[in-house]
Structure 1
């Protein structure tokens, strides 16, 4: 939550070199309740003709950060209803959400840190550390390792042979995962004798927020198969898994997940993918994952964090609300 409006004004004036006027917005009472519950509203006007009109500041006053897709929906609602350029403001925004907001061309301000105002061509990053250009996304095995560490609260003293043995990876694959985690600046290592030990620099929710920019959807592809061909030992995924853990309704067709390599090795012998059956009542929507979902769960649904990643870019409001509930219930 923004501590004081004075801090915001000072940041804007120091950064842009112009004076600004900040005042409470007079149309707050006309907003739907869900938009009044989490936000404070101010109009911002520059004392020089920098923008040519006022800006509406949507100041996030909630304790937990919303998804970029939900922020985008709220901004677009305000723009379309009140015909005013709207800027999202929050004390801190995760790296992943910043990236997504920029992709959506959604203006935002993080006081004393970053301002992104595409309307006037501003993208000012004062103290954001740049990600190393050699690393964009984690490999599937590195992603599995990070999620496994979060689920099991395994934050230090981890060796390649130990984690490789637990997850069914070779020591060399584990070493490559260690290197990527260090490149992302969320982990470091120390040696005991000749053996490398990994230590995360963050724990729990903070590690998740810092590392999320390097994580991707586990879903590589998807297809429809007849329900009689769908093994029951494939964990529930997608909206089926989300419905199991939140209040969202079940999808018309059950969704399950399987490691893509496993599916490729058995489909020729036993099953036939039937893409033309999409939406039919007797079909199962099968997600082919980049990694084995069973490495991260012993239950009949995929793990919470992979589930979140598989749906985080879904712009449906109900899905986003359910994902927030899902992450909120995760035991960090």
Structure 2
């Protein structure tokens, strides 16, 4: 709660005492304290969910039987700190997709919808996980990397397979991996493979050879190529809702 400067002046002019806890105080018989410590309300970002929030959302949709969960339970599996998961909970609550409650010392999250309905409600807030695309010479790709991009989309649908394979890696891991195996960047025509760097760890949401279907959907659902956008929609048809 705050007062605008106009309303504050009006109340002072009429001699009306007022108090805004922690911010403003006007007590004419005692003292006057008009500190302007306005606290801006927290809003979710207009451009979509944070990477951590999207990871928590997709994990829940892909594993619908895990029920209510806590930051400490999710942190290790999703490769985030418990504090980051807690902030992701805040983002999901602010987006009206979930609610949280405390049970003892643990905070638990419960989504307001499930499955396809939850995804549809979250759709306006979804963002592509891809930060950058790098074209590389050589085939020394670590086996732990997930097939990604149009390569994964073609593997999971009937889309034609592209000329070179694309793999995904967390953006935070790219520098160490590229230095360790000596990858050389080149242009698209001279590339033997491509690597997408992601805003979250693609391995956190998939235990198969490809990245998860929901991240692919978020990446390609609005693609300018209608064939690719339609293939992204087909990903949803194959999920066990």
User: Considering the TM-score relative to the shorter chain, is it more than 0.5?
Assistant: yes
2:223 equivalent among 314, 322, 327: 314
Where 2:132 maps in the other structure, the secondary structure is: strand
2:189 equivalent in structure 1: 279
- Higher CA-based Rg: 2
TM-score normalised over the length of structure 2: 0.77
Distance in 2 of aligned mates of 1:313 and 1:158:
31
Distance in 1 of aligned mates of 2:220 and 2:189:
19
Query: Is the 1:135–1:184 Cα contact (8 Å) retained in structure 2?
Result: no
CA-to-partner distance for each residue in 1:96-148, whole Å, 9 max, x for gaps?
xxxxxxxxxxxxxxxxxxxxxxxxxxxxxxxxxxxx85432222111111111
1:36 equivalent in structure 2: none
CA-to-partner distance for each residue in 1:278-320, whole Å, 9 max, x for gaps?
123x510111111110001111100000011121221212112
1:181 is the counterpart of 2:126:
no
| 1:155–1:232 distance in 2 versus 1, CA, 3 Å | closer
| 1:236–1:314 distance in 2 versus 1, CA, 3 Å | same
Which moved further from structure 2: 157-166 or 243-252? Answer: 157-166
Gaps of 5+ in 2: 1-41
1:303 is the counterpart of 2:237:
no
CA-to-partner distance for each residue in 1:20-58, whole Å, 9 max, x for gaps?
xxxxxxxxxxxxxxxxxxxxxxxxxxxxxxxxxxxxxxx
1:262 equivalent in structure 2: 173
Distance in 2 of aligned mates of 1:237 and 1:260:
14
Query: Is the 1:240–1:254 Cα contact (8 Å) retained in structure 2?
Result: yes
2:45 equivalent in structure 1: 135
- Structure having greater relative contact order (Cα 8 Å, sep ≥ 6): 2
Count of aligned positions: 199
1:241 equivalent in structure 2: 152
| 1:286–1:271 distance in 2 versus 1, CA, 3 Å | same
Q: CA deviation at 1:154?
A: 5.0
1:290 equivalent in structure 2: 199
Distance in 2 of aligned mates of 1:330 and 1:268:
37
1:221 is the counterpart of 2:132:
yes
CA-to-partner distance for each residue in 1:239-285, whole Å, 9 max, x for gaps?
11111111111011111111111111232343233233x123x5101
The RMSD of aligned alpha carbons is 1.8
| 1:189–1:154 distance in 2 versus 1, CA, 3 Å | farther
TM-score normalised over the length of structure 1: 0.57
Query: Is the 2:56–2:88 Cα contact (8 Å) retained in structure 1?
Result: yes
Query: Which contiguous aligned blocks of 4+ residues in structure 1 show a shift greater than 4 angstroms?
Result: none
1:111 equivalent in structure 2: none
